[in-house]
Amino acid sequence: MRVQPLSLLAALIGAAACLAACGGADPPSGSSARPAAESRPAPIRPRLVCLGDSLTAGLGVSKDEAYPALIGRRLAAAGYDWEVVNAGVSGDTSAGGLSRLEWSLEGDVRILVVALGGNDGLRGLPVEAMSRNVGEIIERSQSRGIQVVLAGMEALSNMGPAYRREFHEAFPALAHRYRVAFVPFLLDGVAARDELNQPDGIHPNAEGQRKIADLLWPVIEPLLGAASPSSATRR
């Protein structure tokens, strides 16, 4: 479609007027005009990231009912203007969590909750490999000045007593080695309780997610005052 000359001229005049009105043109000398507030970059908010699997993602419940969102509301109620990132991926193993660590730690991450290992146990994956993956997640996070909360998991009984024992001992060993805040079992008080789980008996329902938030909050809260900008943000 061809544009008529008069129409084009009118459009150019209108665009120039809009440019001047929106601050695109230089303000007159001595003018006190300031950039519009919306043009200023939004301040970077401190972040708490929850890196985990379906238990963190909130499989079977809404995002607002998953424990990361509940922790976010507690932060707000306590007067902290933080962003909580739900970095849970259903079906993820410790290797999967490690593979996506870099993008999970984007922004001003101050605290990282690591809640991985459940799917390693379900699949009977080597405990040594799981420990190595989780250890690298902790090391790389600590190198950025990020405080880590490690949440342990338990293997099912059908994996045999030797495997269950090795699996159980891996988490406190990691917590001791890296001197991180530790929750021995993410599903403490939730696992094997029908009223707190969905019909599959594995994934917490909304009330079960609240119990997880109740368990994590006393461990997270003391870290808030000491949390400082991560080195990735300072660079």
Instruction: Tell me the catalytic residues.
Output: 54, 200, 203
Assign 223 to helix, strand or coil: helix
Which DSSP helix (H) or strand (E) runs through 95?
A: helix 94-99
147-151 vs 109-115, strand pairing mode: parallel
C-beta of residue 182 within 8 angstroms of C-beta of residue 188? no
Assign 50 to helix, strand or coil: strand
Nearest to 49 by CA among 232, 234, 177: 232
Assign 89 to helix, strand or coil: coil
Fill in the amino acid letter for 121: G
C-beta of residue 105 within 8 angstroms of C-beta of residue 146? yes
Distance of CA 172 to the CA centre of its chain: 22
Backbone φ/ψ region at 7: left (φ over 0), alpha (ψ -120 to 50), beta: alpha
d(Cα 69, Cα 86) in Å, to the nearest integer?
8
